[in-house]
């Protein structure tokens, strides 16, 4: 009997915003052959040029991906995942929340186009202030909250892991770090849940060393921006890992910006928490048993984000 091989359909990933970060994400996604790519930007010629450049790289690597650059949102039709990088980035001296008023209208416009052309897609938000913009995207699209999520927790844990490894002089591959709360100054790194091969870092580092790692984690983005103008490679890697978990349905447990509906005693808000990420989006939130000090810090972070959401022009926190 003849055997018929049925090839799986290729997945489609769209990236909105093809500046330095968006193009870095496209490079990693194409290199890993995670799916075909649609690059969309308002700047004439930019996404088309990126697509041609990346396509030649992919050809040399033997990566069979179809990459199209466009200034028209209709080209995102059929997307399995839309990565939203569009919007203004932080400048030296700016906080993420300083960007809120400027990026709100941009994100609203992008989300309207997503609803029009890719109503069945998942959305991975990257634009700052991340927690607020993810909440806005959820409200504007009307999608199920599991289909809209953000990458900030992934990035914050990478940074915490980096400083833990530096302090201990061990391989980062041995470290699992956890950061929850806002993607900003009120973020809550959790040393009690951050481990080196299962051993909490609180048993390996002095309180002063732990405090220093936490402080550096909170401040490192501003430091990089002051030195080189933007953070690129670390967020691009974190985004790509999330794309991989969705496209391959790997169900990775990652710290990410997810909707809370009673978890941690909080409702109707997006914040960084550990969660399972798969082909359907956020499949479930992992609820850690916080002590009193950790819970107080987390609730403080909740209030920071709720206050910012309350200042949105287009939607209000319930």
Task: Report how far residue 24's alpha carbon sits from residue 38's, in angstroms, rounded to the nearest whole number.
Answer: 14
Residue carrying structure tokens 């650059």: 69
CATH class of residue range 12-152: alpha beta
**What's residue 10's pLDDT?**
85
pTM for the model stands at 0.93
Question: Which residue spans of the chain are classified as CATH 3.90.110.10?
Answer: 153-310
Residues 258 and 282: beta-carbon distance below 8 Å: yes
Task: Report how far residue 156's alpha carbon sits from residue 133's, in angstroms, rounded to the nearest whole number.
Answer: 17
Spell out the alpha helix ranges (H) of the chain: 20-31, 46-61, 100-117, 130-141, 152-168, 207-228, 233-247, 292-310
**What's residue 6's pLDDT?**
47
Question: Which residue spans of the chain are classified as CATH 3.40.50.720?
Answer: 12-152
Residues 164 and 201: beta-carbon distance below 8 Å: yes
User: What amino acid positions are annotated as catalytic residues?
Assistant: 183
Structure tokens at 174: 């041995």
Q: How far apart are the first and last CA of the chain?
A: 62
Residue carrying structure tokens 């990026």: 103
pLDDT profile of the chain (318 residues), mean per 10: 54 96 96 96 96 91 91 97 90 72 92 98 96 96 98 92 96 96 93 96 97 95 90 95 97 97 96 97 97 97 94 64
**What's residue 23's pLDDT?**
97
Which one, of 236, 239, 17, lies nearest residue 109 by Cα?
Answer: 17
**What's residue 62's pLDDT?**
83
Structure tokens at 242: 């999330």
Is the backbone peptide bond immediately before 300 cis, with ω within 30 degrees of 0? no
**What's residue 317's pLDDT?**
47
CATH 3.90.110.10 corresponds to the domain 153-310? yes
**What's residue 7's pLDDT?**
47
């Amino acid at each position: 009997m003849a055997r018929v091989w049925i090839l799986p359909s290729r997945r489609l990933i769209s990236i909105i915003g093809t500046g330095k970060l968006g193009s870095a994400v496209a490079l990693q996604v194409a290199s890993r052959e995670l799916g075909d790519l649609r690059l969309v930007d308002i700047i004439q010629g930019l996404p088309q040029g990126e697509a041609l450049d990346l396509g030649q790289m992919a050809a040399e690597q033997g990566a069979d991906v179809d990459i199209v650059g466009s200034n028209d949102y209709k080209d995102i039709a059929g997307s399995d995942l839309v990565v939203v990088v569009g919007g203004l980035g932080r400048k030296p001296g700016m906080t993420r929340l300083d960007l809120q008023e400027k990026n709100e209208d941009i994100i609203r416009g992008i989300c309207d186009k997503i609803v029009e052309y890719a109503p069945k897609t998942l959305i991975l938000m990257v634009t700052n202030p991340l927690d607020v913009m993810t909440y806005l995207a959820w409200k504007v699209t009307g999608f199920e909250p599991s289909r809209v999520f953000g990458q900030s927790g992934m990035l914050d844990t990478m940074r915490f892991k980096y400083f833990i490894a530096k302090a201990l002089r061990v391989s980062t591959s041995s470290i699992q770090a956890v950061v929850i709360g806002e993607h900003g100054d009120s973020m809550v790194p959790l040393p009690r849940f951050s481990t080196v091969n299962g051993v909490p870092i609180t048993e390996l580092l002095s309180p002063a060393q732990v405090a220093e790692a936490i402080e550096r984690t909170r401040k490192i983005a501003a430091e990089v921006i002051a030195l080189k103008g933007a953070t690129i490679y670390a967020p691009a890697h974190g985004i790509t890992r999330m794309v991989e978990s969705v496209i391959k349905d790997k169900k990775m447990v990652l710290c990410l910006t997810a909707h809370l509906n009673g978890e941690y005693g909080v409702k109707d808000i997006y914040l960084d928490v550990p969660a399972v990420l798969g082909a359907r989006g956020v499949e479930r939130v992992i609820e850690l048993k916080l002590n009193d000090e950790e819970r107080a810090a987390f609730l403080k972070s909740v209030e920071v984000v709720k206050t910012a959401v309350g200042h949105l022009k287009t939607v209000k926190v319930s």
